[in-house]
Structure 1
């Protein structure tokens, strides 16, 4: 679940370096965003409620912990919100239990809109005194330690939902609308377009000339700019930048692959020839990667959860006393 990540890779188009930028925050994959129900992940947020009653004397301390968890989850690109879950929300139930040696083990459960626990996890054991005193550093450390595990479990939950959905990209090929190329000199627009249209399809991705029913749209732009000549250079050069934008049906960018290279000035003013084919071949692989990463179709589902659905707060999260006030 996806949470915005950037992956740079080498795209050696006749020596062209490139950068593959993949947006993947806990995202709704492609056209499946239109079909979200209460059984799918998540509407637009992951709620993290304060796990104690409003009149509990340790409410401020637990509220601080819940807020720390939200901030840590946002750092994992999970759209978490510190609030009580609303209808249709997925949410995180926080709690803790006694450790055999007298410490405290923070716990969490990921709960679906139907109230079922879909995943559980624990943080590292911390000192009981620091926990009961609601030490801010201890609470923040717990939140930072738990957040990656929560995010990973959310990814596995999403994978399980996709696995059971025959319409998801885990069970069918992605339908990609190729909107063409703009800005290239010579026959670049046509040559790049034809090469990409030929080289892109494989067993997991199809290409079409209509936006209707497409899971993603690919739009390509080419820019040519002069390069300052080196002091002893005999021939002027131009900088060629090709960007392959991959968009969701709502127009959001799922990722982009960029190819940049210096070429002899005006060498692409006519026929692109092998340059177009090399560029399209590298771009096809990059777009495959963007779609796979953004949709999450290669993620592995979580194993089935076992155990009774019960509250995870086996002990008070924090408490106040005459000698240990909450801060």
Structure 2
């Protein structure tokens, strides 16, 4: 899993009524972004590769493992509904065997084809694990690039893709806040987060991303408490893709019984980090990383 750290250094507000403790205090965690999961590519045991059944299963397993190393979520196994799969065939070409690959979508359509590297026919016929592993290693980089290209085409042609509409955000619960913070903080976040490039929705099921929060506020000492706010951003698979953390020393009467201006300041500061997490998630999905060297 890859992570990108984003640091938000915003200026303290020069004017206004106090307290405004969270302005300029996004915290060290800022917004950590992980690559969202992609659909699984099934690699079934091929039937027409000039290999016996055992060798064909080995080749499918080798190829799935190699593709996974190139950030293509791949599993050796039978074709499954709603998943993509890789159809593998092979044919003779003189003294060589040419593996051929066809990427099949959940709708049964072919989305891209590739001819693999030639393998000496005599070696291929033996079906040795070494030869099959070398063939999988040789063809995985080009297959990974093909999958990236297919993903980009599919996303651009889908009107419901995040490339073609504003992301939908659901603001979930806040927990652990003293006073009225569990109610006030998400309500203030809703006021400042919505905009022309981001749409708030009323249900988690219809959202692309969900934001929830946790507050850590240990008992006050001498009227002061170190308060930590963690805003978590999750994707549709409930996977945490980013976190915005805010830390500040507060007086107990700043947030008990009412958060007031403190909640407004915290929400405004957090909104910038949350927007950045969402934007980077969209960009990451639209522009997958280049094929990494092994």
The reply to whether TM is greater than 0.5 is yes
Q: What's the counterpart of residue 45 of structure 2? A: 49
Q: What's the counterpart of residue 19 of structure 2? A: none
Q: From the superposition, tell whether residues 184 and 105 of structure 1 become closer, same or farther in structure 2 (CA, over 3 Å).
A: farther
1:253 positional shift: 1.0
Give the TM-score taking structure 1 as reference length: 0.62
Q: After superposition, where does 1:54-65 map in structure 2 within 5 Å? A: 58-65=52-59
- Aligned match of 1:258 in 225, 243, 250? 243
1:120 positional shift: 1.8
State how far apart, in whole Å, the 2-side matches of 1:176 and 1:280 are. 12
1:119 positional shift: 0.7
Give the TM-score taking structure 2 as reference length: 0.68
- Contact 1:87/1:113 (<8 A) preserved: yes
- Aligned match of 1:160 in 135, 153, 159? 153
1:218 positional shift: 2.1
Q: From the superposition, tell whether residues 266 and 144 of structure 1 become closer, same or farther in structure 2 (CA, over 3 Å).
A: farther
State how far apart, in whole Å, the 2-side matches of 1:197 and 1:126 are. 59
Q: After superposition, where does 1:298-317 map in structure 2 within 5 Å? A: 298-299=286-287
In the alignment, structure 1 residue 9 sits paired with structure 2 residue 5? yes
Q: From the superposition, tell whether residues 139 and 86 of structure 1 become closer, same or farther in structure 2 (CA, over 3 Å).
A: same
Which segments of 5 or more consecutive residues in structure 1 lack a partner in the other structure? 28-43, 228-234, 301-327
- C-alpha deviations, 1:252-295, integer Å up to 9, x for none? 314342234553365764542534322222122213333554xx
In the alignment, structure 1 residue 82 sits paired with structure 2 residue 77? yes
State how far apart, in whole Å, the 1-side matches of 2:276 and 2:156 are. 24
Q: From the superposition, tell whether residues 287 and 196 of structure 1 become closer, same or farther in structure 2 (CA, over 3 Å).
A: farther
- Aligned match of 1:283 in 253, 265, 274? 274
By relative contact order (CA 8 Å, sep 6+), the higher-ranking structure is: 1
How many residue pairs are counted as aligned between the two chains?
Answer: 264
Q: What's the counterpart of residue 232 of structure 1? A: none
- Larger helix proportion, structure 1 or 2? 2
State how far apart, in whole Å, the 1-side matches of 2:102 and 2:190 are. 46
1:71 positional shift: 2.9
In the alignment, structure 1 residue 244 sits paired with structure 2 residue 229? no
Q: After superposition, where does 1:142-291 map in structure 2 within 5 Å? A: 142-185=135-178, 188-189=181-182, 192-208=185-201, 210-211=202-203, 214-224=206-216, 238=226, 240-248=228-236, 252-260=237-245, 262-264=247-249, 266=251, 269=255, 270=259, 271-272=261-262, 274-290=265-281
State how far apart, in whole Å, the 2-side matches of 1:217 and 1:94 are. 36
Q: Secondary structure at the match of 2:36?
A: coil
- Aligned match of 2:113 in 98, 120, 127? 120
In the alignment, structure 1 residue 67 sits paired with structure 2 residue 61? yes
